[in-house]
Chain A
Amino acid sequence: MADSGLLESVLRLVEKVDGGVDSQDVAGGLSVDHQVVVGAVKSLQALGEVIEATQRSSKHWEVTGEGNEILEQGSHEARVFKAIPEEGLPQSELMKLPSGKVGFSKAMSNKWIRLDKGHEGGPRVFRTVDSIEDAVREKLQQVKKGQSSQLEEKEKNELKKRKLLTEVTVKSYWITKGSNFSTTITKQETELTPEMIASGSWREKKFKPYNFEAMGVAPDSGHLHPLMKVRTQFRQIFLEMGFTEMPTNNFIESSFWNFDSLFQPQQHPARDQHDTFFLSDPALAHEFPPDYLERVKKVHSEGGFGSQGYKYDWKIEEAQKNILRTHTTAVSARMLYKLAQQEKFTPVKYFSIDRVFRNETLDATHLAEFHQIEGVVADYGLTLGDLMGVLHQFFTKLGLKKWVEVGNSGVFRPEMLLPMGLPEEVSVIAWGLSLERPTMIKYGINNIRELVGHKVNLQMVYDSPVCRLDS
């Protein structure tokens, strides 16, 4: 901070003028360098509303070093003129003078001198007039006195071209009184201290204003992954709707539970090597509920339960093949089978959100693994209207106002439910969608690799907002 003596001198100057004062004039008035005054202005600004200062720039003309030399010794042409005696001077000698070259041509064009080329002993220069007026020097003197405005632009530019004058831009401040104007300076405190609170001295202190334009210091914190935040919200929605969470912590599944139990025929393309990851170790599952397995085999190969069946040669070897589950519906099937083994059927609402795996071609929206969200309701006499009603409630909570294709829904087939042993009058409605797709829609992410996997940018995780699905 500039010393307070200077600051107060500035303030006293500002007090005297009504409309304000330019910092350059202040510098002149106080006989200090302008930069010192600028420093003082900045210090005063930091004190709050003591003064107001607006920056402005002004241009003025200054005499250059060469110009100052002319002010002392006269212009080059005048100096040439003076150097020539009555009887003239050989041109070669004249040219040896410091101002010789420039002065000679200027004095010639002013017609102050003439050159006798044919003079015996070489060319010789003579005066042609008795006295001269050194206009260049006079003009520079005017500029020096601060009267540059009296010169015409053309004249100033001429002198600028001769590098005798230069135009300078000066940044200065226009200083006026602020709302808290005072001619005395009180030192401002930066922060409140325990001592000030204890002594009460804060009451007399002035505090340096904060810069509210600046950003704060980022807290040292951990962060949750955005997709997992969305998962938390989906769990919350299901729980709010009374759905119980299924145990989906079994990525490895047998083809039996993943496909056959769902009445998916063994030649179905989804069971192809191109779509499903099969295991080489452990390659086969070895334990199935035997009666249920027989009923599943029968409904596929012969029909029954009101169905024609697919009428093909159902093979246990296909059902045994272990895979990475392609949907969590495999778990729903296990849960519904378990439900059917209860002595008395009780209605259930189940949900799960967990990983599933597909051996498919990868692109901007498809990975080999993703999270499936699934909801299942089993009860007597459920209808399509019920399915649509539940879906509506679910998607309303999701805040998806526009219906976009994000998943599938339906009523499980009797060929799936009846072999499990569920009562005939029981219907099971279900729907599923991926966790990634609504998340990408919600956050405007186009490439799934920016959201999931080890290649994600942690900055994205650091910066991600809280997840409120319904707003």
Chain B
Amino acid sequence: MPTVGVKRDLLFQALGRTYTDEEFDELCFEFGLELDEITSEKDIISREQGDQKAEGASDVILYKIDVPANRYDLLCLEGLVRGLQVFKEKMEAPRYRRVSPVNGDPQRLIITEDTAGVRPHAVAAVLRNITFTPERYESFIELQEKLHQNVCRKRTLVAIGTHDLDTVSGPFTYTAKAPNDIRFRPLNQSQEYTATQLMSLYKTDSHLRHYLHIIEDEPLYPVIYDSNGIVLSMPPIINGDHSKISVNTKNVFIECTATDLTKAKIVLDMVVTMFSEYCRLMLFLVLSSLSLSLSLSLSLSLSLSLSLSLSLRESAESIAQLLTRMCLRSEVAGDDGQIQVEIPPTRSDVIHACDIMEDAAMAYGFNNITRTTPRTYTVANQLPLNKLTELLRMDLAAAGFTEALTFALCSQEDIADKLGKNISETRAVHISNPKTAEFQVARTTLLSGLLKTVAANRKMPLPLKLFEISDVVLKDETTDVGARNNRRLCAVYYNKTPGFEVIHGLLDRVMQLLEVRPGRKHGYYIQAAEDSTFFPGRCAEIFSHGESVGRLGVLHPDVISGFELTMPCSALEINIEHFL
């Protein structure tokens, strides 16, 4: 969920009234937002970098507001204010419209086929006769940054470039060229560089270096020229310095280049609709690519029956009114309770009637919905494996063993080297992107977790008697994903003497609980086995109904020291799925 920081006083000024923190928190809740934090730049710097660094920073109060991830229209002050004012019925939901320039043809952006291999889509628009103030300008820049971080997925899907239209002349060309053939003076630099030079220049730039990978290995880099060959931008990395905008810019040319056309249109729509309020007239155009964006305000009709599924006991009229308050202009169409809803370009999150219903419920107030009990009649069933697990856990505790709860993820070392095994014989699944060695593999045995628990509790009085019943994960080509869980029961006995008889006694008790009698053919028995985890001659394999279900024995001294233990230890691990 993105967080938007707005200056409190500017917000209140735009809302036309002040609120107490509690009142504003309440308003946010009603509107589906969350007032996350009340702070100031000074507070933030002092918290992150210490009081000294914070000295002299602004102590203007900031509201940090959590916004739903797909509500890009609430990512700036302008959008928030518009949404809240309409919600409080202080203003009407705006209708956005595309306007052609009074004199002259619309601007054009020509997309060449060279872009197909690297970044195939582009859309563009112009905001004409805009009046920036320092605050508006700051908000304009911040909105682009927020969009870049969220819907643009760190510029991979979409990158936004904004330019002073009066410094360049159309038509514009979006093309792709070899890095050495692109040469221009980038934003805030004093000399020209080739694209190749720029990539190495920005290797150390704390901000830009995160975007280089998007085009770095491509043979052609995307670039936008004006009709005189001036470079506007090299998306998604950097704009040219020539066309840079300032607080005094009057006409803004906005281009969005993308790998995802739908997202590009959403982003362009957001920038344009949010800042059109500062224009005398808003002019918008997209050309050359077949896309048109802003005109795409779809209408959906809803039937009154959907209000029943929301449990809103409201007339069609009042539902239409609720929706209108959410910037979804609605009216009742006809006598059968149909509601006609207009979706503005700001609400790209609305893609199905259910999104409209959600807004209606939000405006109605979730807490005003009457609670009902579904009449769904069902009979409960336990999963047999979990039922058996629950029953065995109780009886293992009754047998004097204490339950441990250990992690399913661990290091390769835990399940292999430390147990005297080779990782290749474990059938373990491997994680490709672990942040630390603790998450290299899913465990193939519960034993290492129990031994680590013992190691962390060496100060406790002896003996330590621990058990766990939980899942391990094994590769298995017969399943759709190539792996499956296996439910295991593991127990350890840690004391000054190995206590094989204790662990053996526990096995006998477990078998008794599972109604398996000692015996070769139709019961269980143990038989000497070789296993590198165990002390030679002190390991046995457990068979039930002729099938091997696990092992028990005294652990190998190397295993004991491998887990930083000092006393002898005996252990038992069996597969309980066999007993279902």
CB of A461 within 8 A of CB of B402, answer yes
**B residues less than 8 Å from A382 (CB atoms):** 309, 374, 376
Interface hits, B298-357 → A, CB 8 Å: 298, 308-311, 351-354
25 contacts between A and B (CB under 8 A): A222-B396, A222-B467, A224-B394, A225-B403, A244-B380, A249-B385, A249-B471, A249-B487, A273-B433, A277-B409, A279-B431, A280-B431, A282-B429, A282-B482, A310-B262, A312-B260, A312-B263, A349-B376, A355-B408, A368-B407, A385-B311, A385-B369, A385-B370, A452-B405, A452-B407
**B residues less than 8 Å from A238 (CB atoms):** 380
CB of B409 within 8 A of CB of A368, answer yes
**A residues less than 8 Å from B260 (CB atoms):** 267, 312-313
User: How many Å from the CB of A423 to the closest CB on chain B?
Assistant: 14
Q: Mark A277-316, 1 if CB is under 8 A from B, else 0.
A: 1111111111110000000000000010011111111000
| Cβ-based interface call for A443 (8 A) | no
A284 to B481 Cα, complex, angstroms = 7
CB of A279 within 8 A of CB of B429, answer yes
A224 to B374 Cα, complex, angstroms = 35
A386 to B308 Cα, complex, angstroms = 11
**B residues less than 8 Å from A35 (CB atoms):** none
**B residues less than 8 Å from A280 (CB atoms):** 430-432
CB of B380 within 8 A of CB of A458, answer no
CB of A454 within 8 A of CB of B406, answer yes
| Cβ-based interface call for A206 (8 A) | no
User: How many Å from the CB of A460 to the closest CB on chain B?
Assistant: 10
Q: Mark A188-218, 1 if CB is under 8 A from B, else 0.
A: 0000000000000000000000000000000
CB of A287 within 8 A of CB of B372, answer no
**B residues less than 8 Å from A339 (CB atoms):** none
* Cβ 8 A contact of B460, one of A313, A357, A385, A458: A458
| Cβ-based interface call for B366 (8 A) | yes
A384 to B364 Cα, complex, angstroms = 12
The listed residue with most B CB atoms (<10 A of its CB), out of A232, A238, A322, is A322
* Cβ 8 A contact of A222, one of B263, B309, B399, B485: B399
A362 to B449 Cα, complex, angstroms = 19
CB of B311 within 8 A of CB of A383, answer yes
**B residues less than 8 Å from A250 (CB atoms):** 479, 481, 484-485
User: How many Å from the CB of B301 to the closest CB on chain A?
Assistant: 11
* Cβ 8 A contact of A359, one of B376, B399, B435, B465: B435
The listed residue with most B CB atoms (<10 A of its CB), out of A284, A386, A414, is A386
**A residues less than 8 Å from B399 (CB atoms):** 222
CB of A427 within 8 A of CB of B481, answer no
Query: Which 9 residue pairs of A and B lie closest in terms of their CB atoms, listed nearest first?
Result: A385-B311, A282-B482, A280-B432, A454-B452, A222-B397, A287-B480, A308-B351, A311-B262, A389-B371
Q: Contacts A267-B260, A278-B432, A454-B404; is A381 near B309 (CB within 8 Å)?
A: yes
The listed residue with most A CB atoms (<10 A of its CB), out of B369, B377, B386, B465, is B386
**B residues less than 8 Å from A273 (CB atoms):** 433
A145 to B471 Cα, complex, angstroms = 87
CB of B380 within 8 A of CB of A242, answer yes
A37 to B263 Cα, complex, angstroms = 98
CB of B390 within 8 A of CB of A232, answer yes
**B residues less than 8 Å from A392 (CB atoms):** 371
**A residues less than 8 Å from B434 (CB atoms):** 277, 359
A306 to B355 Cα, complex, angstroms = 11
Q: Contacts A254-B481, A384-B310, A389-B373; is A227 near B429 (CB within 8 Å)?
A: no
User: Residue of A at shortest CB range from B307?
Assistant: A383
Q: Contacts A222-B402, A322-B481, A454-B404; is A384 near B432 (CB within 8 Å)?
A: no
User: How many Å from the CB of B5 to the closest CB on chain A?
Assistant: 20
CB of A307 within 8 A of CB of B432, answer no
**B residues less than 8 Å from A355 (CB atoms):** 408, 471
**A residues less than 8 Å from B390 (CB atoms):** 232, 235
| Cβ-based interface call for A338 (8 A) | no
A118 to B580 Cα, complex, angstroms = 121
CB of B480 within 8 A of CB of A254, answer yes
User: How many Å from the CB of A54 to the closest CB on chain B?
Assistant: 40
**B residues less than 8 Å from A222 (CB atoms):** 396-403, 465, 467
| Cβ-based interface call for A369 (8 A) | yes
A241 to B396 Cα, complex, angstroms = 28
User: Residue of B at shortest CB range from A386?
Assistant: B374
Q: Contacts A223-B402, A389-B374; is A414 near B382 (CB within 8 Å)?
A: no
**B residues less than 8 Å from A393 (CB atoms):** 373
| Cβ-based interface call for A342 (8 A) | no
Q: Mark B473-484, 1 if CB is under 8 A from A, else 0.
A: 101010111111
Of the four ranges (under 10, 10 to 19, 20 to 34, 35 or more), the interface on chain B belongs to 35 or more
User: Residue of A at shortest CB range from B396?
Assistant: A222
CB of A244 within 8 A of CB of B381, answer yes
| Cβ-based interface call for A252 (8 A) | yes
CB of B402 within 8 A of CB of A385, answer no
| Cβ-based interface call for B98 (8 A) | no
CB of B351 within 8 A of CB of A309, answer yes
**B residues less than 8 Å from A349 (CB atoms):** 376, 378, 380
CB of A244 within 8 A of CB of B431, answer no
12 further A-B contacts with Cβ under 8 Å, apart from A273-B433, A282-B483, A388-B369, are A250-B479, A252-B482, A252-B483, A278-B432, A279-B429, A368-B439, A392-B371, A427-B309, A455-B456, A456-B453, A458-B453, A461-B402
User: How many Å from the CB of B472 to the closest CB on chain A?
Assistant: 9
CB of B351 within 8 A of CB of A277, answer no
| Cβ-based interface call for B464 (8 A) | yes
* Cβ 8 A contact of B442, one of A223, A252, A269, A313: A252
User: Residue of A at shortest CB range from B577?
Assistant: A249
| Cβ-based interface call for B228 (8 A) | no
Interface hits, B144-168 → A, CB 8 Å: 153, 156-157
| Cβ-based interface call for A453 (8 A) | yes
A381 to B354 Cα, complex, angstroms = 14
* Cβ 8 A contact of B400, one of A220, A232, A367, A413: A220
User: How many Å from the CB of A398 to the closest CB on chain B?
Assistant: 16
Q: Contacts A224-B394, A251-B442, A311-B262; is A288 near B431 (CB within 8 Å)?
A: no
CB of B376 within 8 A of CB of A377, answer yes
| Cβ-based interface call for A407 (8 A) | no
CB of A385 within 8 A of CB of B352, answer no
Q: Contacts A254-B481, A459-B460; is A242 near B379 (CB within 8 Å)?
A: yes
| Cβ-based interface call for A411 (8 A) | yes
A452 to B453 Cα, complex, angstroms = 11
**B residues less than 8 Å from A311 (CB atoms):** 261-262
**B residues less than 8 Å from A278 (CB atoms):** 431-433
User: How many Å from the CB of B115 to the closest CB on chain A?
Assistant: 16
**B residues less than 8 Å from A228 (CB atoms):** 393, 403, 405
Q: Contacts A385-B370, A388-B371, A461-B403; is A223 near B397 (CB within 8 Å)?
A: yes
**A residues less than 8 Å from B457 (CB atoms):** 457-458
**B residues less than 8 Å from A221 (CB atoms):** 397, 400
CB of A384 within 8 A of CB of B369, answer yes
CB of B262 within 8 A of CB of A312, answer yes
User: How many Å from the CB of A108 to the closest CB on chain B?
Assistant: 71
Q: Contacts A225-B404, A308-B351; is A383 near B380 (CB within 8 Å)?
A: no
Interface hits, A385-444 → B, CB 8 Å: 385-386, 388-390, 392-393, 411, 413-415, 427, 429
CB of B407 within 8 A of CB of A453, answer yes
CB of A243 within 8 A of CB of B456, answer no
A434 to B385 Cα, complex, angstroms = 22
CB of B429 within 8 A of CB of A369, answer no
A457 to B407 Cα, complex, angstroms = 15
| Cβ-based interface call for B361 (8 A) | yes
**B residues less than 8 Å from A306 (CB atoms):** 352-353
**B residues less than 8 Å from A288 (CB atoms):** 480
| Cβ-based interface call for A262 (8 A) | no
**B residues less than 8 Å from A324 (CB atoms):** 409, 431, 442
| Cβ-based interface call for B383 (8 A) | yes
* Cβ 8 A contact of B480, one of A286, A313, A367: A286
* Cβ 8 A contact of A384, one of B298, B361, B485: B361
| Cβ-based interface call for A379 (8 A) | yes
